[in-house]
Amino acid sequence: MGLYPQPKRWQCGPFALKHALIMLGKMADEKRASRIAGSHWWAGTDDIKLGRAAKAYDCQMKQIRRTGPLRAKRELLLALKRGYPCLLCVDDWEHWITAVGAEKGKFIIIDSDVDPVINILTWRTLKKRWVYAEVDSDDPTQMKTLFDLYPVIPEFRVRTKARFSLERAKYLRRPENRSFASHWDEYFNDLSFICTPRTPRSSKVFPMGELLRRHGSMIRTQVAFWHGTVRPEQVRRMLHNLKFVADTYDLVVRDDDEKRAITAITANLAFWAASKFGIANVYGDGGK
């Protein structure tokens, strides 16, 4: 359920919807989305099927069609500004991608057909992929261009949204961060039990970075000591990943939950260390 390439060509629609839902703070299984939509290897997934799947996740997938590139670009920027990820039908209506942000004249795209899936496209490149040309029914001697976009509008109360800047997109595109991106949903789900979304009324809270500034050294030392084969720098990398996801969704820790957060993060990292490196018998049978 993380950010990774689709295994089969016809799965682009459910993956694009999954990526839109991730931006809205809702983790979705692309296999379940495929079943709901009725996706098939011989036909893929059209907008009607995707709309049905979006409805199952309490979202509306609104169609917007424009015939000119400037108006299409304006609609896309407006939807992104409102916080709505947009599904785009590209490559002559053969493929679905998800636009999740725009910054400095460039668009942040999640395309499950490439690796890494997070891409940064200029408007010129995006326009070339997005446009669909067909014969004008009113004048068969002329061609008309179409740009279809589908903002995914939540009908549920969104607790937090992902903020994907160019800097964050570039970071996730690095080869050493592929595994991190593919487990995005696991990081988010664990943080959801540790943190709370920041709101205009939030008080007596602090960001994950502050928690790690105060207690990161202790957590690194303890996890490495308990397991014995995990290096502190490996634990530091995992803590950085947690901070990256928390900052992306603006998740914060309540003052009253500081000790609980320390305990939860340390326990999760201990489980991670045991799952990755194995663990020997500890404390025998407990004194039976």
Same domain, 105 and 227: no
Q: How far is CA 283 from the centre of its chain?
A: 41
Same domain, 49 and 142: yes
Same domain, 98 and 198: no
Confirm if 95 and 81 have CB atoms less than 8 A apart. no
Same domain, 141 and 257: no
DSSP state of 11: G
Q: How far is CA 137 from the centre of its chain?
A: 40
pLDDT at 141: 66
Whether 217 is in a domain gets the answer yes
Instruction: Name residues whose C-beta falls within 8 Å of residue 103's C-beta, 6 or more positions apart in sequence.
Output: 165, 166
Whether 213 is in a domain gets the answer yes
pLDDT at 123: 97
Whether 141 is in a domain gets the answer yes
Kindly state the helix (H) or strand (E) to which residue 236 belongs, with its residue range. Answer: helix 232-248
Whether 78 is in a domain gets the answer yes
In the chain, the number of structural domains is: 2
Same domain, 49 and 134: yes
Whether 3 is in a domain gets the answer no
Kindly report the CATH number assigned to the domain that includes residue 107: 3.90.70.10
Same domain, 117 and 208: no
Instruction: Name residues of the chain where pLDDT drops below 50.
Output: none
pLDDT at 22: 96
Whether 283 is in a domain gets the answer no
Whether 282 is in a domain gets the answer no
**Amino acid at the residue 180:** F
Q: pTM of the entire structure?
A: 0.91
Same domain, 57 and 190: no
Whether 171 is in a domain gets the answer no
Domain assignment of residue 28, given as a range:
9-154
Same domain, 150 and 198: no
Domain end: 108, 138, 154, which one? 154
pLDDT at 135: 66
Token readout for 59 is: 């979202």
pLDDT at 280: 73
Same domain, 190 and 138: no
Q: Is the peptide bond before 116 cis (omega within 30 degrees of 0)?
A: yes
